[in-house]
Amino acid sequence: MRVDKSANLRDRLRKGADAFSFDALLQGVSTLEGDATPIDADAGGMAQQAPPPKSPPPWAVLPASPPAPTSGEQWKAAIEGLAQGLMESAAQFGAAAEEDDIAGQGQALADANRVLELLGSVDPIGAVARSVGAPSAPPGGRRWPEPAWSVSALAASPLSALTGPGATVAHLDAILEAARAAR
């Protein structure tokens, strides 16, 4: 039944795309049926209507999103840069934990969470990192750790090992409050 729904949706999308005129959209021409309302040039304060553009507007030729890394080396460098930032944040978290610096732990946790959110958006399961041979890639069958914005997530996080054996829920909650403030 699920295959039928996806096939039906694909057919509807294909029919809609066939009926849509992308060239008309780029030229600013309406494809709607009906009478066009004439524009009164004097009422709008304009002497005459501007001629249609000869080339597509700039937004029509810009890419929809920033270019992604194209080579394996670019991906590897990007992922390694993020992983290096994650390791630095973990080291700062551990150093702040040794000094019992809640604000320092919160700042380091916020930094680590930002990096984990970026890694999760570009390579959620770690497959890209493994395919380009990044040394920091998660092991096969494992994902990047999830960001820790709750007590339960922080307790399950690898960073929880750096909080010390006597960390209480109140201590973890104080770290999270400092992280939210540093966000």
**What pLDDT, on a 0 to 100 scale, did the predictor assign at position 71?**
77
**pLDDT given at position 148:** 93
Q: What is the pLDDT of residue 143?
A: 92
Residue 158 CA to residue 117 CA, distance in Å, equals 15
How confident is the model at residue 170, as a pLDDT?
Answer: 93
- Give me the half-sphere count of Cα atoms (radius 13 Å) on the Cβ side of residue 57: 10
Identify the pLDDT of residue 22. Answer: 47
Residue numbers of the chain with a pLDDT score lower than 50: 1, 20, 22, 24-26, 29-32, 39, 41, 43, 45-46, 59
pLDDT at 5 (0 to 100): 67
Query: Residue 111 corresponds to which amino acid?
Result: D
Rounded-to-integer distance, Cα 183 and Cα 172, Å: 16
Residue 67's pLDDT is what? 57
Overall pTM > 0.85:
no
